[in-house]
Amino acid sequence: MSGVNSAPNSARKVGRVRQIGPAIVFGVAFLALWESAVRGFDLKPYFLAAPSKIGEQFFKNYSRIWEASAVSGGNALVGLVVGTVLGVAMSFILSRYRFLGELVTPLAIALNAIPIFVLVAILNNMYSITSEIPRRVMVTLVVYFIVLVNVAKGLTQVRSTHVELMRSYAASEFAILRKVRVPNAVPYLFTALKVAAPASVITAFVSEYFGGLQNGLGSRITSNIANSKNAAAWAYVLGACLLGLAFYTVSIILEGIARKGEAK
Amino acid sequence: MSALEVVGTSKIFNQGTAKQVDALVDVNLTVNPGEFVSLIGPSGCGKSTLLRLIANLLEPTSGSVSVNKKTAAQARLDQDYGMAFQQAGLFDWRTVSKNIELPLELKGWDKAKREARAKEMLELVKLPEFADLYPWQLSGGMQQRIAIARALAAHPPLLLMDEPFGALDEMTREYMQGELLRICGETSTTVVFVTHSIPEAVYLSNRVVVMSPRPGRITSVIDVDLGSKRNEDTRAADGFFRSITAVREALRGTHAEHAAANAIRGVEDR
C-alpha cells in the first residue's frame, strides 16, 4: 500500500516546492540585497536597520514581542469575533426587513470607506486610560461593517431560478432562508473574514497610537523609535507582520474547512 | 379526466397604469394525462407567463387554472408538479444526490427514503456514478439531466419545463430530447414544455400550442401525428417535416398579423 502511495505523494511534494519555491528564493534574495545595501553603503541604523540586526533584536526581545503581540492580537481577536457575530446578526435582520437595508447599507458603505479608526481618540475619552475597551470597540466597528455589507449581499443576492424553484416546492420563507440564502452567504462571510482578519490586526495596533495603555505592538514600535532603537522597532514591526499573517492564515484555513469539496 | 385545465385565463401586469401589459388574454387549454404539449411563439407571447400561472408562481388576473382537479395553489402545496428551467439551477453547495433530494426534504421524507429515491432517479437519468460529485464537476447536459431528476424526484404527475435545453449545444440538445421522451414514457408524466425551437416542439409533442404576442394569446393548436414511439429516424420522417411546416406557417401567420397590426399603429417591430 505505502509503495503505491509514495509515488503520487512525492510528486505532490515536488509540485508544492515548485509552487512556493520562487517566492522563497525571491524573499531570501530581497533580504540579502537589503543586508548588502546597509553594509555596502554604510547606512546608519537610525536610517535603515540591517535584517541581521533586526533578527538579533527579534530573538533578544522574543518574550516581550510575544507579550505585546498577545495584547494587540487579543484585542484584534475579541473585536473580530464580536464584530463578526454582530455583523452576521444585523445582516439577517436587514435581509428580512429590506427597507432597513436600504436605510443602513449606504451608511455602512460610507463608514467603510473613511478611516473610522480615528474614532478611537474619542473612545479613549469615554473610557479609563487603562482600558482595552476603546481598541476592542474600534476593531469591532471595523469588522462589523465589513461583515455586514458582505453577508447581507450573500443573503439577498440569490439566483432567481433558485427562489422560483423553492416557491414551486411551496417552501416557506424560513426554508428558503435555511436552504438557499444561508448557504449562498457562506462564501461571502469568508470573503469578508479574509479582509476583516488582517484589518482587525491593523486597527488594533493603529488604535494604540492614539494613547491609552502602552502594552501592545503599536505602542512598542513608537516607544522604540522615540528611543532611537530602530532595530528593536523593526523587530516589533516583524512581530506585527507575523500576527497579521497568522490571522489571515487562520481565515483561509477556516474557509477551506467550511467549503470542503466545493468549487473554486 | 384532464391533467391540467386552463379556462378563460388572463394575466395583466401593472393593470390600470401607463405600463399596463396584457401578457395573456382569454387563454383556454386542456392537457390530458400522459400528454406532451409544447408552447411555442415569439418573445413576449406569454408562454413563460402561462407556464408560471400553471405553476402558481403567478396569480391569474381572471379565469381559473386547475391541476389534477385541484386549484393551482393547492397543487403547488401538494407538489403535484415538478419544474425545470433554462438554467439547471442546481445548488453548488450540495452534491448531485443532495440536489435531487431537495424537494423530498421539503416534503419531510426521512433520510433513508430520500437517498433511495435519489439513487432511483439517478439511474433513471443514467448518471448513477455521479451521486457524490458537485454540480460544477458535470457538463451542462448532465446538469440539466440532474435538474430533470430533481423535478421528477417526488414522482409528480406533471412536469413543467421552461426552455430547459435552450442553453445546450445542438448535439446535446437532440440527445436530451430523446432522453426526456424516454424518461416521461417510463414514468407516464404529463409535460408542458416551453420552447423557441420548432423541430424540438414537433419532435417532443403530441400537440404544439402556437402563441402570439400583444396581447399574448393562443392562435392555433397543431396535432403532431408521429406516434408514441419516437427515435432518431423520426427526425427524417415525412410526418416530422409536415408538422414542422404546419407549425412554421402558424407562427408566420401570427407574425404577419403582428407586423400588420404594428404597421397600422405605426409601431416599429424590433
Cis peptide bond N-terminal to B215, omega within 30: yes
Compute the mean pLDDT over every residue in chain B, rounded to the nearest whole number: 87
Out of A161, A170, A262, closest to residue B89 by CB: A161
Query: A-chain residues within 8 Å CB-CB of B77?
Result: 170
Measured between beta carbons, the chain A residues lying within 8 angstroms of B92 are: 262-263
Q: How far is A132 from chain B (nearest CA, A)?
A: 40
Instruction: Cell 399574448: give the residue.
Output: B216
B55 contacts in chain A (CB < 8 Å): 168
* Residue B5: strand pairing partners: B30, B66
Contact B44, B70 (CB under 8 A): no
Question: For residues B166 and B196, is the Cβ–Cβ distance under 8 A?
Answer: yes
Q: At residue A7, does pLDDT exceed 60?
A: no
Q: Widest CA span of chain A, in angstroms?
A: 77
- Tell me which residue has cell 440539466: B144
Question: CA B162, CA B48: separation in Å to the nearest integer?
Answer: 7
Residue B160: C-alpha distances to residues B20, B48, B82 (Å): 27, 10, 6
Taking CA atoms, what residue in B is nearest to A171?
Answer: B106
Length of chain B: 270
Asked if A153 has any chain B CB less than 8 Å from its own CB, the reply is no
C-alpha cell at B228: 408514441
Mapping DSSP to helix (H, G, I), strand (E, B) and coil, where does residue B18 land?
A: coil
Q: In a 3-state reduction of DSSP, which class is residue A132?
A: coil
Please count the residue pairs, one from chain A and one from chain B, whose beta carbons lie less than 8 angstroms apart: 49
Q: Considering chain A, what is the average pLDDT of its residues?
A: 83
* Residue A14 pLDDT exceeds 80: no
Condensed to tens digits (0 to 9), the pLDDT of residues A152-184 reads 999 989 998 999 999 999 898 899 999 999 999
Q: What is the pLDDT of residue B51?
A: 93
Which span out of A83-87, A122-126, B168-172 was modeled with the highest average pLDDT?
A: A83-87
Report which of B62, B57, B80, B45 is spatially closest to residue B6, judged by C-alpha positions.
B62
Q: What is the mean pLDDT of residues A136-161?
A: 90
Identify whether the C-beta of residue B163 lies closer than 8 Å to the C-beta of residue B194: yes
Is B85 within 8 Å of chain A by CB?
Answer: yes
CB contact under 8 A, B91 and A186: no
Q: Looking at the predicted structure, is the pLDDT value of residue A8 above 60?
A: no
Angle at alpha carbon of residue B131, lines to A7 and A261, rounded to 5° = 55
Q: How confident is the model at residue B29 (pLDDT cuts 50, 70, 90)?
A: very high
Question: Smallest Cα–Cα separation from B151: which of B160, B162, B138?
Answer: B160
Q: pTM value?
A: 0.79
d(CA A23, CA A155): 37
Neighbouring C-beta atoms of residue B74, cutoff 10 Å: 15
Nearest to B93 among A159, A165, A262 (CB): A262
Cα of A144 to nearest chain B Cα, Å = 26
Contact between chains at A170 and B102 (C-beta distance less than 8 A): no
Q: pLDDT digit string (tens) for A195-248?
A: 899 889 888 888 887 777 777 888 888 888 877 788 888 888 888 888 888 988
Lateral strand order in the sheet of B21-31: B21-31, B4-13, B62-67, B70-71
- Point out which residues pair with B21 in neighbouring strands: B13
- Count CB atoms within 10 A of the CB of residue A113: 9
Residue of chain A with shortest Cα separation from B79: A169
Interchain contact, B106 vs A171, CB within 8 Å? yes
Output the CA torsion A173→A175→A176→A179 (10° steps): 160
B216 burial level (CB within 10 Å; 0-12, 13-18, 19+)? buried
Q: What is the ipTM of this complex?
A: 0.83
Do the Cβ atoms of A170 and B106 come within 8 Å? yes
pLDDT of A133 reads 83
Q: Does A169 touch chain B (CB under 8 A)?
A: yes
Give tens-digit pLDDT for B204-245.
999 999 998 888 889 999 998 887 788 888 888 888 889 999
CA atoms within 13 A on the CB side of A264: 7
Residue A194 distance to chain B (closest CA, Å): 20
Name the least confident of A42-46, A48-52, B125-129, B213-217. Answer: A42-46
Residue B83 phi, psi (nearest 5)? -135, 140
A244 to chain B, closest Cα gap in Å: 30
Asked if the Cβ–Cβ distance from B89 to A180 is below 8 Å, we say no
Q: Is A161 on the interface with B (CB under 8 A)?
A: yes
Q: What is the distance of C-alpha A131 from the center of its chain?
A: 23
Residues 164-223 of B with CB under 8 A from A: none
Q: How many CA atoms lie within 13 A of B92 on its CB side?
A: 16
**Does residue B260 sit at the A interface (CB-CB below 8 Å)?**
no
What phi-psi label fits residue B155: left (phi over 0), alpha (psi between -120 and 50 degrees) or beta?
A: left
Across the interface, of A170, A180, A261, the residue whose CB is closest to B134 is A261
Q: Is 50 exceeded by the pLDDT of residue A66? A: yes
Picking from A64, A78, A25, the residue whose alpha carbon sits closest to that of residue A239 is A64
**pLDDT number for residue A13:** 66
pLDDT band at B267 (very low <50, low <70, confident <90, very high): very low
Q: Report how far residue B184's alpha carbon sits from residue B193's, in angstroms, rounded to the nearest whole number.
A: 12
Higher per-residue pLDDT: A255 or A150: A150
- Give CA separation, B108 vs B57, B118, B216, in Å: 22, 15, 39
CA angle at B253 for the pair B170 and B190, rounded to the nearest 5°: 50
CB contact under 8 A, B77 and A165: no
Domains of chain B in sequence order: 10-67+91-257 (3.40.50.300)
Report whether B68 contacts B80 (CB < 8 A): yes
H-type alpha helices, chain A: 2-40, 51-60, 62-96, 98-113, 119-126, 133-156, 160-168, 173-176, 182-207, 217-226, 230-258
Residue B269 scores a pLDDT above 50: no
- In chain B, which residues have their Cβ closer than 8 Å to the Cβ of A165? 83, 85, 89
Residues whose CB falls within 8 Å of the CB of residue B86, separated by 6 or more in sequence, listed in order:
B162, B163, B164, B166, B167
Could you give the 3-state DSSP secondary structure of residue B21? strand
